[in-house]
């Protein structure tokens, strides 16, 4: 008995799927065990290859997906000069006497409201639907070649003419070469334009390799014995996990026989204090902003901050200095969009997601100013270990590997055996001991 009969299967394509001027054959099939659910089926005669495309349509109960709606800034009537002029006038009138204000929270909120109101006036937010990206290398000329190729394929099929079959093959090969060349030139252009931007360069290379970034769509999560569904419930579950994972893991760690004090080699003979921030310090960072940086919860775009750098540096410097003087970081600037990025493993397990925080652009500027002062103090007092390669100027994973390789080679020259232990500390950032930082004053 035929295997199709044994499993009660039916092949529903009835037309030839490969036609030449010598033969016709049906070698592309669609097999189903529920033929009654098929509405229509058939063959689409296109010229992509010598095999035609088969299709099947059926009724399925699938909820209609809603189009993606996003907020975007309209630059239709944006004028940089007019924007800066209006912003300067508004800041000058709004900040009269504000230098006497002691609370940086009050100062920041007033500044934010002024800035966002002027931005909204010159470049308002608009709601729009996001369309899927077209294939960038598919030009109108290439589409014409594709249409001509398909026309010749249909003509050859209808007439069974050797002449048209030959013409179709020539057109097909020509179209394939044009598409390959266009794709190659497109990606070469992207790579060459990002040759000094490693992050964007590797992003482009991964797209070429078919390993582009994937959107993290979380349909459900497992929490103990329950299954969490719904966007809001999933967001709250992940937020709770990210907030509590550090203290939870720290509480599970066994007590060490040694104190962290035993591992700190630096003996403080100086005390770190913040210097007053100058307007030039703030201006340099504002002018060096990358406009591609995402806006935080306050929706303040890096482009507008950079465009108005000369106008806003004075008032921002005033707010930053007041914050350092009072020891208060504005609460509003602590808020972040937290994006859960899937790492690997079970997608329903919270521990397999890494939180990425998108902070306010202004918060990043302030943090960079604080970092610059702190790292200067640390470097001048030689506080960091020589084996600290991360997050340091002129240091990287490359210098770490060079240092390790050099030590291994020296050991080999001495006739010693190298033993290498690779460790990956789980949730290292969340479980670090904050108290040890007091030891560096």
Assess whether pLDDT exceeds 70 at residue 252. yes
Indicate whether 182 belongs to any domain: yes
CA 103 – CA 330 distance, rounded (Å) = 9
**Is residue 37 very low, low, confident or very high in pLDDT (cuts 50, 70, 90)?**
confident
Q: What is the number of domains present in the chain? A: 3
Answer yes or no: is 123 within a domain: no
Instruction: Kindly state the average pLDDT of the residues 105-111.
Output: 95
pLDDT digits (tens, 9 = 90+) for 404-413: 999 999 999 9
The burial of 223, by beta-carbon neighbours within 10 Å (0-12 exposed, 13-18 middle, 19 or more buried), is given as middle
Residue that is last in its domain, among 12, 31, 58: 58
In a domain, 154, yes or no: yes
Range of the domain at 394: 387-440
Position 424 in a domain: yes
Whether residue 8 is contained in a domain is answered as: yes
Burial of 430 (0-12, 13-18, 19+ CB in 10 A): middle
Residue 160 placed within a domain: yes
> Among 16-25, 54-63, 231-240, whose mean pLDDT is lowest?
54-63
Percent with pLDDT over 90 in the chain: 38
Asked which of 151, 183, 209 is the last residue of a domain, the reply is 209
Q: Please report how the helices 162-193 and 140-159 are oriented relative to each other, as an axis angle in degrees rounded to 10.
A: 160
Q: Within a domain: residue 239?
A: no
Which has the minimum average pLDDT: 239-248, 303-312, 404-413? 239-248
* Each residue's pLDDT tens digit, 350-377: 888 989 999 999 999 999 999 999 999 8
- Write the DSSP assignment of 176-201 as a string of letters: HHHHHHHHHHHHHHHHHHTTT-HHHH
Residue 435, domain member (yes or no):
yes
Q: Which residue, 58, 84, 102, sits at the end of a domain? A: 58
Q: How confident is the model at residue 95 (pLDDT cuts 50, 70, 90)?
A: confident
């Amino acid at each position: 008995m035929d295997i199709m009969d044994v499993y009660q299967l039916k092949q529903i394509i009835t037309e030839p799927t490969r036609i030449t001027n010598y033969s016709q054959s049906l070698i592309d099939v669609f097999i189903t065990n529920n033929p009654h659910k098929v509405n229509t089926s058939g063959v689409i005669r296109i010229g992509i290859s010598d095999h035609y495309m088969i299709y099947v349509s059926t009724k399925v109960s699938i909820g209609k997906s809603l189009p993606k709606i996003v907020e975007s800034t309209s630059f239709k009537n944006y004028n940089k000069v007019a924007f800066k002029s209006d912003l300067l006038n508004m800041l000058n009138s709004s900040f009269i006497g504000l230098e006497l204000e002691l609370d940086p929270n009050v100062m920041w909120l007033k500044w934010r409201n002024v800035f966002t109101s002027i931005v909204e006036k010159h470049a308002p937010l608009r709601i729009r639907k996001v369309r899927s990206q077209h294939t960038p290398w598919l030009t109108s000329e290439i589409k014409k070649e594709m249409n001509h190729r398909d026309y010749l394929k249909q003509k050859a099929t209808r007439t069974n003419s050797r002449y048209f079959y030959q013409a179709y093959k020539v057109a097909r090969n020509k179209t394939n070469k044009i598409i390959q060349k266009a794709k190659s030139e497109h990606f070469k252009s992207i790579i060459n334009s990002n040759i000094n931007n490693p992050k964007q360069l590797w992003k482009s290379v991964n797209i070429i390799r078919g390993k582009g970034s994937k959107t993290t769509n979380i349909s459900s999560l497992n929490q103990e014995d329950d299954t969490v569904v719904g966007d809001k419930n999933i967001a709250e579950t992940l937020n709770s996990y990210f907030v509590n994972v550090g203290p939870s893991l720290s509480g599970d760690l066994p007590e060490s026989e040694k104190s962290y004090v035993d591992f700190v080699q630096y003996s403080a003979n100086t005390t770190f204090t913040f210097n007053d921030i100058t307007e030039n310090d703030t201006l340099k960072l504002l002018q060096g902003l990358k406009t591609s940086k995402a806006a935080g919860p306050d929706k303040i775009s890096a482009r507008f901050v950079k465009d108005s750098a000369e106008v806003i540096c004075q008032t921002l410097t005033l707010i930053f200095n007041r914050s350092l003087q009072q020891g208060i970081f504005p609460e509003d600037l602590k808020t972040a969009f937290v994006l859960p990025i899937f790492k690997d493993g079970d997608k329903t397990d919270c521990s397999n997601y890494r939180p990425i925080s998108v902070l306010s652009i202004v918060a990043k500027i302030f943090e960079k100013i604080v970092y610059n002062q702190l790292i200067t103090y640390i470097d001048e007092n030689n506080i960091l270990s020589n084996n600290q390669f991360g997050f340091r100027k002129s240091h990287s994973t490359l210098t770490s590997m060079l240092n390790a390789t050099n030590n291994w080679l020296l050991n080999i020259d001495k006739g010693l055996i190298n033993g290498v232990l690779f460790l990956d500390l789980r949730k290292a950032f969340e479980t670090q001991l904050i108290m040890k930082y007091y030891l560096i004053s």
